[in-house]
């Protein structure tokens, strides 16, 4: 009887532990997604983003990936503030590339970047973050240079 009670308690604990993380959004590899908001003249626009915060993740980016959903993106985080340049090598879907300063202000937006291209797309100003969205999303939400991106990576 005591043994059955212990088994029931252990089973419940395992079930609760499994359910605790069930509501957390995950990327294709099971890594957590983080909330990010872009505030434009048309309002607040929420996204769930994958984080690329080490050199290997930044190099891989969205290469060989299916198109992003409307509410998804990838946020590249850099340890310094510098002129940035991105390309689309091995990236099969067009993207909007949004360069962001350390305070979370949009520096520039490269719209509808050409898939599979090795042409470097410059930030045209110092940036510490880069957000990639499905091509056309920046226009759909009315994003412009100077708009605010909110995420814990950026100082307010």
pLDDT digits (tens, 9 = 90+) for 68-123: 999 999 999 999 999 999 999 999 999 999 999 999 999 999 999 999 999 999 99
Task: Report the pLDDT value the prediction gives residue 5, as an integer from 0 to 100.
Answer: 44
Task: Report the pLDDT value the prediction gives residue 30, as an integer from 0 to 100.
Answer: 81
Residue by residue, what is the 3-state secondary structure of 32-84? ECEEEEEEECCEEEEEEEEEECCHHHHHHCCCCCCCCCCCEEEEEEEEEEEEE
- Taking 80 as the threshold, does the pLDDT of residue 8 lie above it? no
Q: What share of the chain is helix, strand, coil (3-state, %, to 5)?
A: 20, 40, 40
| pLDDT tier for residue 26 given thresholds of 50, 70 and 90 | confident
* Mean pLDDT (whole number) for 137-144: 98
Q: Give CA angle at 136 (134, 138), nearest 5°.
A: 90
Task: Report the pLDDT value the prediction gives residue 25, as an integer from 0 to 100.
Answer: 81
Task: Report the pLDDT value the prediction gives residue 22, as an integer from 0 to 100.
Answer: 56
| pLDDT tier for residue 147 given thresholds of 50, 70 and 90 | very high
Task: Report the pLDDT value the prediction gives residue 152, as an integer from 0 to 100.
Answer: 97
Task: Report the pLDDT value the prediction gives residue 13, as an integer from 0 to 100.
Answer: 40
């Amino acid at each position: 009887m005591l043994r059955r009670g212990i088994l029931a308690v252990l089973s419940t604990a395992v079930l609760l532990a499994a359910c605790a993380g069930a509501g957390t959004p995950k990327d294709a590899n099971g890594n957590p997604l983080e909330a990010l908001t872009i505030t434009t003249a048309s309002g607040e626009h929420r996204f769930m983003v994958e984080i690329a915060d080490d050199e290997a993740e930044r190099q891989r980016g969205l290469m060989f990936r299916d198109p992003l959903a409307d509410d998804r993106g990838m946020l590249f985080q850099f340890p310094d503030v510098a002129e940035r340049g991105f390309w689309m090598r091995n990236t099969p879907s067009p993207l909007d590339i949004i360069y962001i300063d350390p305070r979370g202000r949009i520096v520039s937006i490269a719209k509808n970047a050409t898939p599979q291209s090795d042409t470097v797309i410059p930030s045209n100003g110092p940036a510490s973050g880069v957000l990639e969205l499905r091509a056309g999303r920046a226009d759909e939400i009315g994003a412009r240079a100077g708009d605010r991106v909110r995420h814990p990576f950026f100082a307010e």
